[in-house]
Chain A
């Protein structure tokens, strides 16, 4: 899935797959925070949207 989205032009950092169990709440929170910080500087996504 990741490779495919890269293939159609989505920046690879925007889509990341991680494995977190429902009971690993701390890990879940950490992963989300980490990802948010990674994506924030990339700015809003303009691709795959309706044409202007």
Chain B
């Protein structure tokens, strides 16, 4: 058991014993070595279920939404991406800062569970990092009440806009072909929407009884769904990559999200969402010097 795990259990136990929080959300071991799954602890003795390992990729920000009306506080462990997710919820006025207690976990990057499943336990050392961890810019949580361990050095392993620039070089037809074949696989399970911390609308546009989009699963409907969702989170996407990780069909959703981030950087100035719960949103604020190419 590593140092962080011991400290996690200690803090959780203390918080619950002193009744400072009503529930602690963290990770416990799942079925196989590459599964670390959410656990909701309400009793101090259960704190020993908590673990910290290379597979704790699940982002809890969305799960917090279920507990915003509890009387007491909720403690939650947050990695770099999770902390931005929590900021997203605070900024969107979904949860209140006073109702949560954040335990920060500086994150060295999580391994890819799907590849680990294929390689098996013997080849565990060869498992690469999750796709979403390769372009992480904030492995240290930007908001926390207590931090476990030391901050990790920020190592930008891959420029998240490099893929975008490469893709933009393709011809119009090639691009259309690529996206058509990707979204042909979409089964409209809405996993991407359900895991996304930025998708926190009480009433989602896609649940309105076919008012805006038919439920039929065809190429045009799927592409419409993917593009509209990318636009609805534009400027608020914290680039945690959970959508791509949760997608059962392996659709490269982050390509769309990073493209929008890149465009926002170019049009509205450098901006990264979820770093500051008080900040202004580039698409939510009108400034006199906003770009107006269409005038």
Residues of A at the B interface (CB closer than 8 Å) are 1, 3-4, 6-12, 16-19, 47-51
Contact = CB atoms under 8 A, between A and B. Distances in A.
B167 interface: yes
Contact of B260 (A4, A10, A51): A4
Interface residues of B, number: 28
B250 to A, nearest CB: 18
Interface stretch (B83-91, B170-178, B239-247): B170-178
Contact of A50 (B220, B256, B292): B220
Contacts, number: 59
Given A1-B231, A19-B292, A19-B295, A8 B179 contact: yes
B contact face: mostly helix, strand, loop, or mixed? helix
Contacts of A48: 176, 180, 219-220, 223-224
8 contacts: A8-B179, A9-B179, A17-B293, A18-B294, A19-B292, A48-B223, A50-B219, A51-B184
B294 A47 contact: no
B263 A8 contact: no
B66 interface: no
Contacts of B231: 1, 4
B188 to A, nearest CB: 14
